[in-house]
Amino acid sequence: MSEYTHKWKDKQDGFSRRFGERLALWSVDSSSKIGYRALNTLTMASTKSPYPRIQRASDHSFIVYVGEGISRSNHRSVLRLYRLLQSKPNAATLNIHPAYSSVLVSFNPLITHPGKFESYLRSLLDNVGNEDTTPPRVVTVPVCYHYSLAPDLRFVANHAALSEEALARAHASPEYLVYFLGFSPGFPYMGGLPLELETPRLQTPRTAVPAGSVAIGGKQTGIYPTSSPGGWRIIGRTPLQLFDPTRNPPALLEMGDLVRFQPIPLDEYDRLEKSGAR
Amino acid sequence: MALYPALSVLSPGFLTTVQDPGRYHCAEWGISPAGAADCVALRLGNLLVGNPPDCAGLEMTLVGGSFKFNSPRRIAITGSYFKPTIDDQPVPLWQSLDVVTGQVLHIGSTESGARCYLCVEGGIEVGKLLSSSSTHVLTSLGGFGGRGLKAGDVLDCGPIHEPADSPKFIVRSDVLDSLYHGGPIRVVPGLQSDWFSPSALSMFSSSEYSVKEESNRMGLRLAGAKVVPLTDQNLVTEGASLGSVQIPPDGEPILLFVEHPTTGGYPKIAGVILADLHRIGQLRPRDKVTFRFVTEEEAVFLLAKQESLLQPGHCLVPAP
């Protein structure tokens, strides 16, 4: 599977140029206003911007909001904070949940007092900077856009007023950003879907979506790493195994990766699937 | 490490899984902790058999199983009362018991809460996956083949360190009464509690909810007073922590439990405090539950108090 994965693009200048182009095209999701509790808000040192903002999320967690809504700039802040949480770990940390514009961190309050843990998070934010140190990986994911593997292919094509072939080309043309993994093991939340492919989710989610299903949910596209219930529209399937708990890391895609889908015919899907790509 | 085929499953019960305190440091991959739904019962069971607190035991749900022992072991049964017997003789919960080769432990159906635990000296050994032996049932991850046990399964245990005549213990009943008191489940305000009006918040904390049938280790769905946010704004998907009470569009709360999705987009009105999570693990379908808001400081104080109750010098007394 090496020919399809882990293709590194190490030219950071090239990356910045691509990002520049993308940022110009990017529009912040207008429905993405988040509320916050003034009373419980622990405003950061800067009085100019309300971000980053640390808020108590439960007796054993804090959340750091790095900004509002879904944007690549927020994503880069989340990624920097996540990497700092890993490189300067706290003994009390239990789990780190990165998302679009926030990072939730749970901790054991018997190991580190909540006030101290908050100071730890604050010290990380003081050092988080705004430099992206690691260039993103570009991962190529082969996808078979064949109706036998994609029960919603026709619906999405009709919705976009495209032929099924044109839909596959359109879906495989951009480079998608993995904002974070969440919901279920290894599930990548990917942004960058062309506007014309945006499709509402199913009214009633399916009880079982096969592993490897590539799907569209609203403005996002994703891949179901394991067989699970799901309400997104399935337009293809990849023979790659996205999640394998015996691997380290267990997820093929990581937060911050750029993903390019490569359309493959059904016979190649079968060959790759049999050859143990999954 | 040497392993011993210690336990044969004669019948598995309704849902019997291998659980330890949970799988942490994996949320960035979308993996929630799983682990014992009643972490206090597992911890006390491990204490009673002389295991470290992170050893794995068996979690049984509503109906227990039958197990044959293939070597002499110290065991303990904790959690809810499932009418356990050894060779057809009733045996008590919450105390160290010794079994000999060939004895059969039968665990029946519940007479109290949802879950019963079997801890075995040396711990159940299934091999750790991402640093934990816990079964994440919904994603078939970890534990014994990622699944609930079946008849014919044989479980290995770790080695025995204590001599066979080491002292046996009982958990003090007054400690159990404080750990499993029947009062309201304590919660702290959730991240979006300001999306709800004061009257909605007080309705949430003054209403009695009933646990719905479709509840599981991922989440408990609650039927009762519907709580509706003040606004219809959308929440940008964000991290969700264990015990969060989220409000979906239909207004009926969902309590995120040990196999919860690591991120979610519903507003969170409240979060169950760590010191009460084990009591959530004992709720059965149709059980009634009420909530009471406390401050984060009080929540941490209650957790520290629980921790002091769980110290062996405090909670255990020698068995007669």
Q: With CB atoms and an 8 Å threshold, state whether B234 touches A31.
A: yes
Residues of B in contact with A34 (CB under 8 A): 233, 235-236
Which helix H or strand E contains B173, and what residues bound it? helix B173-179
Check residue A277 and give its pLDDT.
58
In one-letter notation, the amino acid at residue B212 is K
- Structure confidence at residue B159 (pLDDT): 87
Residue of A nearest to B295 (CA): A59
Q: Is the pLDDT of residue A13 over 50?
A: no
Tell me the C-alpha distance between B208 and A148, whole Å.
48
| Contact criterion met (CB < 8 Å) for B236 and A189 | no
Rounded to a whole number of angstroms, the distance from the CA of A160 to the nearest CA of chain B is 25
**Residues B283-312, mean pLDDT to the nearest whole number:** 98
Q: Strand pairing partners for B169?
A: B318
DSSP secondary structure of A230-277: E-SEEEEE-SS--B-TTSSSSBSS-TT-EEEEEE--HHHHHHHHHTT-
* Tokens read off for A236: 């293809």
What separation in angstroms does the CA of A81 have from each of A66, B207, B228? 9, 40, 34
Is B49 in contact with B75 (CB distance < 8 Å)?
Answer: yes
The first and second tokens of residue B282, run together, are: 């004992």
Out of A34, A183, A186, whose CB is closest to B263? A183
- Is residue A15 predicted with pLDDT exceeding 50? no
Q: What percent of chain B has pLDDT over 70?
A: 99
- Amino acid making up residue A14: G
Say what the pLDDT of residue A48 is.
66
β-pair type (B16-19, B57-61): antiparallel
**Cα-based angle B204, B205, B209 (whole degrees, multiple of 5):** 65
Rounded average pLDDT over B181-193? 97
Q: Which of A32, A93, A228 is the closest to B234 by Cβ?
A: A32
Q: Is the pLDDT of residue A147 over 70?
A: yes
- Phi-psi label, residue B251: left if phi above 0, alpha if psi -120 to 50, beta otherwise: left
Q: Pick the residue of A184, A203, A246 with the most B CBs within 10 A to test the interface with B by mutation.
A: A184
User: Can you read off the two tokens belonging to residue A145?
Assistant: 């856009």
Q: Which long-range contacts (CB under 8 A, 24 or more apart) does A18-23 make?
A: A18/A175, A19/A72, A22/A72, A22/A192, A23/A72, A23/A73
pLDDT digits (tens, 9 = 90+) for A27-63: 233 333 333 333 333 444 445 678 999 999 999 999 9
A83-87 mean pLDDT? 95
- CA A68/CA A105 separation, integer angstroms: 18
Looking at beta carbons, which residues of chain B come within 8 Å of A39?
Answer: 194
Q: Quick check: A59 and B233 CB within 8 A?
A: no
Contact flag A182-B194 (C-beta cutoff 8 Å): no
Do residue B304 and residue A110 have CB atoms under 8 angstroms apart? yes
Partners of A218 on chain B (C-beta within 8 Å) are none
| Rounded to 5°, angle at Cα B192 from A72 and A41 | 80
Q: From CA B64, how far away is CA B68, in angstroms rounded? A: 13
The pLDDT of residue A34: 33
Report yes or no: A140 at the B interface, CB cutoff 8 Å.
no
pTM above 0.90, yes or no: no
Which residue type sits at A90? Answer: N
Residue A147: DSSP 8-state: G
Q: Are A261 and A173 in contact (CB under 8 A)?
A: no
Q: What pLDDT does A40 receive?
A: 36
Q: Do A184 and B139 touch (CB under 8 A)?
A: yes
For A96, which of B28, B129, B191 is closest by C-beta distance? B28
What is the average per-residue pLDDT within B313-319?
96
Q: How far apart are CA B120 and CA B122, in angstroms?
A: 6
CA distance A55 to chain B (A): 8
Which residue is listed with tokens 């730890």? Answer: A120
pLDDT at A208: 87
- For residue A56, the chain B residues in CB contact (below 8 A) are 188, 296
Lowest mean pLDDT among A95-99, A228-232, B83-87, B180-184: A228-232
Res B41 pLDDT > 90: yes
Q: A22 pLDDT exceeds 50?
A: no
Give the pLDDT confidence of B250-266 residue by residue, as tens digits. 899 999 999 999 999 89
Choose from A59, A204, A247 for mutation: most chain B CBs within 10 A.
Answer: A59
Nearest CB neighbour to A110, from listed B25, B263, B303: B303
Phi/psi of residue B216, nearest 5 degrees: -155, -165
ipTM score over 0.90, yes or no: yes
Backbone angles phi, psi at A135, to 5 degrees: -70, 150
The pLDDT value recorded for residue A35 is: 33
Residue A155 has pLDDT above 90, yes or no: yes
Chain A residues within an 8 Å CB radius of B238: 63, 97, 99-102, 104
> Given an 8 Å threshold on Cβ–Cβ distance, is B274 in contact with A100?
no
Q: Most A CBs within 10 Å: which of B24, B28, B302, as the mutation test of the A interface?
A: B28
User: What is the spatial distance between Cα A196 and Cα B275, in angstroms, rounded to a whole number?
Assistant: 49
Please tell me which residue, A132 or A161, carries the higher pLDDT value.
A161
**Per-residue confidence (pLDDT) for residue A130, from 0 to 100:** 80
Structure tokens at A243: 């999640």
pLDDT at residue B243 greater than cutoff 60: yes
Q: Considering only CB atoms, which chain A residues are within 8 Å of B33? A: 94-95
Is A184 touching B (CB cutoff 8 A)?
yes
- pLDDT tens digits for A159-195? 999 999 999 999 999 999 999 999 889 999 999 999 9
Chain A residues close to B264, C-beta within 8 Å: 183
Q: Tokens standing for B189?
A: 């305000």
- pLDDT at A5 exceeding the cut of 50: no
Task: Summarize the confidence of residues A117-142 as an average pLDDT.
Answer: 91
A115-121: average pLDDT: 98
Q: Measured between CA atoms, how close is A217 to chain B, in angstroms? A: 13
> Whole-angstrom Cα distance, residue A171 to residue A194?
7
Least CA distance to A56: which residue of chain B?
Answer: B191
